[in-house]
Amino acid sequence: MTVKPDVRPARAHFSSGPCAKRPGYDLSKLPTDSLGRSHRAKIGKTRLKDAIDRTRAILGVPDDYRIGIVPASDTGAYEMAMWSLLGARPVTAIAWESFGEGWVTDAVKQLKLNPTVIKADYGVLPDLSAIDQASDILFTWNGTTSGVRVPGADWISDGREGLTLCDATSAAFAQDLPFAKLDVVTFSWQKVLGGEGAHGILILSPRAVARLESHTPAWPLPKIFRLTKGGKLIEGIFEGETINTPSMLAVEDYLDALRWAESIGGRPALFARADANAAALNAWVDRTPWASNLAVDPATRSNTSVCIRIDGPAELPKAMASLLEKEGVAFDINGYRDAPPSLRIWCGATVDTADIEALIPWLDWAYATAKEA
């Protein structure tokens, strides 16, 4: 029988969403004066606008880009953009993992746009150099279920005619987002900052706003997707006047995470924490003969959702994840259901590197124990 390691992670939360709360998180310390109040009251709108303003400052979003808090997490934000913006130009939909595949399905089967679809297998990126820059481009920045991210945005033309719609839910606050190349950026609170689910962030460039105000979609828009009225942007959405009722408790929780991010040094510190976590885990992968990063090219390795192939039977990663969960040392690290058999370990900024380092001997233990079973 393999001997269990002596040291355990202080926090065993390595889920890729919802993700670990920030270090030192204390639910009882959240302000509660906005709870039980109307989100239309001054206190509600002020807190919502504060969340927007802090998001802008930490992410470095340009002043002429709009930021809105919208329903239904990243999925709601991205589909709101698709339903509201697409149809004016040809569409190119790019997918190399499950969530990108979802946007392809929306474009093909729901909106019936007959897009150009460009795909790659798990672990690699498709050829981005041949993308039609006259089309609207749908893509994920970081593939949450494959651990493969785009290494940059040089493939996006500064003179593009189409819009770029970027799902950045597992990249925002951990990876640099070059907003000049991105016309729509979406993410949700429960990823890198460890917030609560159900709310999305929608960021729009001036080019995206111009499209909204000049294009009428050929399909009906439900109320929660409507961003214009009378051909003009509903500016209130981007000032804290949400389309529907938000959870003010989730808003206070997000504000707590934003204040923590500011306190540790903002965007550079968040990036550095994620990089350190991923580096510690990848160093173990590189020296372990039976483990390999699902991302084939090191330049495309995610620093948040690190996906690890395990040599052996297909059921081995799931068995390892189950053993680690029973021991209380790692929760929710089995690979995504549609991905190749693998482990998926979250390395975003709210995870402490010391916990990644404490987890590593347990990965060795779980492998040996599962092999013995």
Average pLDDT over residues 262-284: 98
Write out pLDDT tens, residues 74-128: 999 999 999 999 999 999 999 999 999 999 999 999 999 999 999 999 999 999 9
Residue 139 counted as domain residue: yes
d(CA 192, CA 346): 9
| 257 and 270 inside one domain | no
Residue 286 has pLDDT above 80, yes or no: yes
* Contact residues for 136 (Cβ-Cβ < 8 A; gap 6+): 85, 86, 88, 89, 90, 91, 92, 162, 163, 164, 165
Give yes or no for a contact between 93 and 117, defined as CB atoms under 8 angstroms apart: yes
The 10s digit of each residue's pLDDT in 310-343 is: 999 999 999 999 999 999 999 999 999 889 999 9
Q: Are residues 185 and 256 in the same domain?
A: yes
Last residue of a domain, one of 262, 297, 317: 262
Residue 235 pLDDT? 98
Question: Confidence band (pLDDT; 50, 70, 90) for 130?
Answer: confident
For residues 128 and 238, state if they share a domain.
yes
Residues 195 and 163 in one domain: yes
Q: What band does 257 get if pLDDT is binned at 50, 70 and 90?
A: very high
Per-residue pLDDT at 129: 93
- In a 13 Å sphere around the CA of 222, the CA atoms on its Cβ side amount to 8
pLDDT digits (tens, 9 = 90+) for 189-202: 999 999 999 999 99
Round the average pLDDT of the chain to a whole number and report it: 97
**In a domain? residue 19:** no
User: What confidence tens digit (pLDDT) does each residue in 148-175 have?
Assistant: 999 999 999 999 999 999 999 999 999 9
Q: Same domain for 225 and 355?
A: no
The answer to whether residues 242 and 292 belong to one domain is: no
Please check whether residues 256 and 292 belong to one and the same domain: no
Percent of the chain with pLDDT over 70: 100
Determine the average pLDDT of the residues in 279-308. 98
Q: Which amino acid is at 247?
A: S
Domain total for the chain?
2
Structural domain range at position 183: 27-262
**For residues 143-148, average pLDDT:** 96
Please give the average per-residue pLDDT across 21-38, as a whole number: 97
Residue with tokens 């804290």: 240
Q: 299 and 252 in one domain?
A: no
The torsion angles phi and psi of 137, rounded to 5 degrees, stand at -115, 125
Non-local (6+) Cβ contacts of 61 within 8 A are: 55, 67, 179, 203
- Structural domain includes residue 156: yes
CATH number at residue 353: 3.90.1150.10
Query: End of a domain among 262, 280, 308?
Result: 262
Residue 47 neighbours by CB under 8 Å, 6+ apart: 34, 240, 248, 251, 252, 255
Q: Is residue 14 part of a domain?
A: no
CATH of residue 95: 3.40.640.10
Does some domain include residue 11? no
* Res 22: pLDDT: 98
